[in-house]
A and B are shown apart, each in its own frame.
Chain A
Amino acid sequence: MKAFDLEQVRKDFPILSRAVNGKPLVYLDNAATAQKPACVIQALTNYYEHYNANIHRGIHTLSEEATSAYEAVRESIRDFIAAPCLRSVIFTRNATEAVNLVAHSWGRTNILPGDEIVLSAMEHHSNLVPWQLLASERGAKLVYLELTESGEIDLQQAASVIGARTKLVAVTMMSNVLGTIVPVAELAKLAHAAGALVLVDGAQGVPHLKTSVTELDCDFLVFSLHKMLGPTGVGVLWGRPELLEAMPPFLSGGDMIGSVWRDRVKFNELPYKFEAGTPNIADVIASGAAIDYLNRLGMDNVRAHEIELTKYALNRMKELDDALVYGPLDANKRGGVISFNFADVHPHDIGQILNESGIAIRAGHHCCQPLMRDLKVAGTARASFYIYNTKDEIDQFLEALQEADKVMGHVACR
């Protein structure tokens, strides 16, 4: 029996009925952003049509409705990541802003010359560049967790790298290139034993894996709602409350204050201390509809569906003699993200030819240039799956790849 009704799920996404270049859209670029179900789009218009108002402190009906809808999503998110308390769930613009918040606020007060920040060799630029800047500002050093041949974390090497100088271990939960699922809890054990904190970049992990901050045993978790059926413009920072309490504000201005005098200010309590200015009310509210949708499907079912698709795709890709697939080959150890290169064809040319068949994939460095250098490639082509993808779509993808080989190779040799 199917874990959920795939046909019904597909009907919930209006965009899936459009055509691209005369062919039905096959959307395999979910690691970049996910499509939105009708309920999310409706939540947006419903807010603007019925209770658009600024939140907090309003004493009129619209403002009260908007405030309670906005705050209800904070609770949905707390529940979604199994966080112990509500006040440590902070809304940001995206995961990148959440990392920057921690780098500026926690980093500048805690990172000292000679300290080490440990990153994996497969971090997205958003969990790398903020630490690079912080390290160079504070005279600290970046140290890397190297990957095994199959693109996995080497826990032995990790144990040798995480030590007395380590102040922070910042790692992805799941690689946006290799699909690798990182053993965060094991790394956290090493980090905490060394007195260091752990920040998890959940931009790829949280949308696809059942997540509990207690099980991950991390100190900070960041993620973005647009990769999990929500609108763009909403990110989340979760942090251990005692850490957030001790951290200075990141942005300042309205909403984040308790009291303001001509010459001084007392900051607001958590989470508002970190939510300066009018937030992205509409998109936060619509994000709540996205979380509800995922909860209805069940994250265990989401994961099972993706393992099935990934297994099928990895298996079918073996048919292509010249395809080189990166990352772990065991679907249980990876998410539904498949990076590959194909014969002598540049990834952009693969992307272009697939687009001709209505198939959307991504090509390039995927904001992971250091990893591309390690793999000794300029870029990869990447197909990534989500709840609405089907085996039939993977078949079409494979057919189009064979077509790419024909266009790029055989035509030239004719």
Chain B
Amino acid sequence: MSLADDLYRETILDHYHHPRNQGALEDATVKTEGVNPLCGDEVTLYLKVDSDAISDIKLEAHGCSINMASGSMMSEAVLGQSLEQAMSVAGVFKNMMLGGSQETALPEELEDLEALQGVRKYPVRIKCALLPWNTLLEAIETSRAKGEDHQE
């Protein structure tokens, strides 16, 4: 296996060169920043949450190919999902990246994410792939906390 098979697969490079849902979201209900202080990857995540579902998502990401591609894929995977579903997708993804050596089969709609499995062979880069997802989980938590505040 070469670097191009493991790490720099076409799907990843495609998302890196043409990241989806990039930019700021004017009417975001949550804005969360994530940084990876070791390598300087940065992501600002904007969510628009309507009745417990992600009706829009945008990212301002600066980082390496793995970070950018992972964020781009994430935005596609969770757009339109309920917060519950988004958390579950994040869980599946994190499990795939941090789990044992077994290849994880993902549901068809998450197939693109499988391209990131090769990153597992390069432990220092796993953090790059996880950053957008951890930021997403934080954003969902913030959104829920806000919701509870409003109810009180």
Q: A346-B63, A352-B3, A408-B8 are in contact. Are A364 and B13 (CB under 8 A)?
A: no
Q: Which of B57-72 contact A (CB under 8 A)?
A: 62-66, 68
Q: Is A137 an interface residue (CB 8 A)?
A: no
Q: Which residues of the partner chain B approach A408 to less than 8 Å between Cβ atoms? A: 8, 13, 65
Q: Which residues of the partner chain B approach A413 to less than 8 Å between Cβ atoms? A: 17
Q: Is A379 an interface residue (CB 8 A)?
A: yes
Q: Is B128 an interface residue (CB 8 A)?
A: yes
Q: How far is the CA of A253 from the CA of B39 in the complex (A)?
A: 38
Q: How far is the CA of A347 from the CA of B128 in the complex (A)?
A: 13
Q: Which of B1-56 contact A (CB under 8 A)?
A: 2-4, 7-8, 10, 13-14, 16-17, 38-42
Contact A407 B8 (CB under 8 A): yes
Closest to B68 in A: A346
What's the least CB distance linking B35 to chain A, in Å? 10
Q: How far is the CA of A363 from the CA of B63 in the complex (A)?
A: 12
What's the least CB distance linking A44 to chain B, in Å? 28
3 smallest A-B Cβ distances: which pairs?
Answer: A346-B64, A412-B13, A348-B64
Q: Is A353 an interface residue (CB 8 A)?
A: yes
Q: How far is the CA of A114 from the CA of B43 in the complex (A)?
A: 38
Contact A378 B13 (CB under 8 A): no
Closest to A346 in B: B64
Residues of B within 8 A of A (CB): 2-4, 7-8, 10, 13-14, 16-17, 38-42, 62-66, 68, 122, 125, 128
Q: Is A356 an interface residue (CB 8 A)?
A: yes
Most chain A Cβ neighbours within 10 Å, of B41, B65, B125: B65
Contact B64 A364 (CB under 8 A): no
Q: How far is the CA of A352 from the CA of B39 in the complex (A)?
A: 13
Q: How far is the CA of A412 from the CA of B17 in the complex (A)?
A: 7
Q: Is A365 an interface residue (CB 8 A)?
A: yes
Q: Which residues of the partner chain B approach A407 to less than 8 Å between Cβ atoms? A: 3-4, 8
What's the least CB distance linking A244 to chain B, in Å? 35
Contact B65 A349 (CB under 8 A): yes
Q: How far is the CA of A168 from the CA of B30 in the complex (A)?
A: 45
Contact A379 B40 (CB under 8 A): yes
Contact B63 A412 (CB under 8 A): no
What's the least CB distance linking A124 to chain B, in Å? 16
Contact A378 B3 (CB under 8 A): no
Q: A408-B13, A411-B10 are in contact. Are A346 and B65 (CB under 8 A)?
A: yes
What's the least CB distance linking A165 to chain B, in Å? 33
Q: Is A372 an interface residue (CB 8 A)?
A: yes
Q: Which of A350-365 contact B (CB under 8 A)?
A: 352-353, 356, 363-365
Contact B42 A378 (CB under 8 A): yes
Q: Which residues of the partner chain A approach B13 to less than 8 Å between Cβ atoms? A: 408, 411-412
Q: How far is the CA of A348 from the CA of B74 in the complex (A)?
A: 21
Q: A348-B125, A379-B39 are in contact. Are A411 and B4 (CB under 8 A)?
A: yes
Q: Which residues of the partner chain B approach A369 to less than 8 Å between Cβ atoms? A: 40
Q: Which residues of the partner chain B approach A353 to less than 8 Å between Cβ atoms? A: 3, 8
Mask of A245-285 contacts with B, CB within 8 angstroms, 1/0 = 00000000000000000000000000000000000000000
For this complex, into which size category does the number of interface residues on chain A fall?
20 to 34
Q: A353-B3, A378-B63 are in contact. Are A365 and B40 (CB under 8 A)?
A: yes
Q: How far is the CA of A407 from the CA of B6 in the complex (A)?
A: 12
Q: Which residues of the partner chain B approach A372 to less than 8 Å between Cβ atoms? A: 40
Closest to A353 in B: B3
Mask of A372-414 contacts with B, CB within 8 angstroms, 1/0 = 1000001100000000000000000000000000011001111
Most chain B Cβ neighbours within 10 Å, of A346, A352, A411: A346
Chain A to chain B contacts (Cβ below 8 Å), 13 pairs = A344-B17, A345-B65, A346-B64, A348-B128, A349-B64, A349-B66, A352-B3, A352-B7, A352-B122, A379-B40, A407-B3, A407-B8, A408-B65
Closest to B128 in A: A348
Q: How far is the CA of A345 from the CA of B63 in the complex (A)?
A: 10
Q: Which residues of the partner chain A approach B7 to less than 8 Å between Cβ atoms? A: 352
Q: How far is the CA of A226 from the CA of B92 in the complex (A)?
A: 43
Beyond A346-B63, A349-B64, 20 additional pairs, beta carbon < 8 A: A346-B64, A348-B125, A348-B128, A352-B122, A352-B125, A353-B3, A356-B3, A364-B39, A364-B40, A365-B40, A372-B40, A378-B40, A379-B39, A379-B40, A407-B8, A408-B13, A408-B65, A411-B4, A412-B17, A413-B17
Q: How far is the CA of A369 from the CA of B40 in the complex (A)?
A: 9
What's the least CB distance linking A285 to chain B, in Å? 33
Q: Which residues of the partner chain B approach A414 to less than 8 Å between Cβ atoms? A: 10
Contact A412 B125 (CB under 8 A): no
Q: How far is the CA of A348 from the CA of B14 in the complex (A)?
A: 18
Q: Which residues of the partner chain A approach B65 to less than 8 Å between Cβ atoms? A: 345-346, 349, 408
Q: Which residues of the partner chain A approach B125 to less than 8 Å between Cβ atoms? A: 348, 352
Q: Which residues of the partner chain A approach B8 to less than 8 Å between Cβ atoms? A: 349, 353, 407-408, 411
What's the least CB distance linking A413 to chain B, in Å? 8
Instruction: Say which residue of B14, B122, B128 sits within 8 Å of A412 (CB atoms).
Output: B14
What's the least CB distance linking A148 to chain B, in Å? 25
Mask of A231-246 contacts with B, CB within 8 angstroms, 1/0 = 0000000000000000
Contact B16 A364 (CB under 8 A): no
Most chain B Cβ neighbours within 10 Å, of A348, A379, A407, A411: A348
